[in-house]
Amino acid sequence: MDEQILMPRRLRVAAVEDDHDARALLSATLADSGVLDVAGTCANAEEAMAHVPAWAPDVVLVDIGLPGMSGVELVAELASRPPEMRFLMLTLNEDPHVILRALRAGAHGYVLKGCSASELIAAIREAHDGGMPFSPGVARRVREHFMASPRRRPPRRA
């Protein structure tokens, strides 16, 4: 019997990024991956509200600092609508308060710009598969945030 190698399904990915050059580079990176399809790109949240639901991507990459409606507000709005999509924040913002707001809004992960193409592709796949990918620096910031909060510290043992 011939063994058949099952290749993972190609995921459809949309991106919401206001910087034209960053959006073009991101689109090229996704298209060149060989394992992802670009569903579409948008320059702002309002454009994404109009197009992303119809594109029905598996994963949406969202920048935080968008003009007009923020990326966090966009995720909160789209996460409550069908079809089901996964949202991966792709940003420079490492503020733990913003990270937590994004997660509360419905983000399924938080990755910093500047990661390698292979790291981004792995994060997209992980978010799609039910994981919650974080860049190492982001995970460290969230941990530090909780450890610094007096009400969050575990009780000392006697």
Sheet holding 110-112, edge to edge: 36-42, 11-16, 59-62, 86-91, 110-112
Q: Which two tokens stand for residue 143?
A: 């941990």
pTM of the predicted model as reported, rounded to 2 decimal places: 0.87
In this structure, is residue 15 part of a structural domain?
yes
Number of domains in the chain: 1
Sequence-distant (≥ 6) Cβ neighbours of residue 120 within 8 angstroms: 29, 90, 111
Banded model confidence at residue 151, pLDDT cuts 50, 70, 90: low
Q: What is the CATH number of the domain that holds 69?
A: 3.40.50.2300
What domain range is 103 assigned to?
A: 11-150
Q: What is the pLDDT of residues 100-142, one digit of tens each?
A: 999 999 999 999 999 999 999 999 999 999 999 999 888 888 7
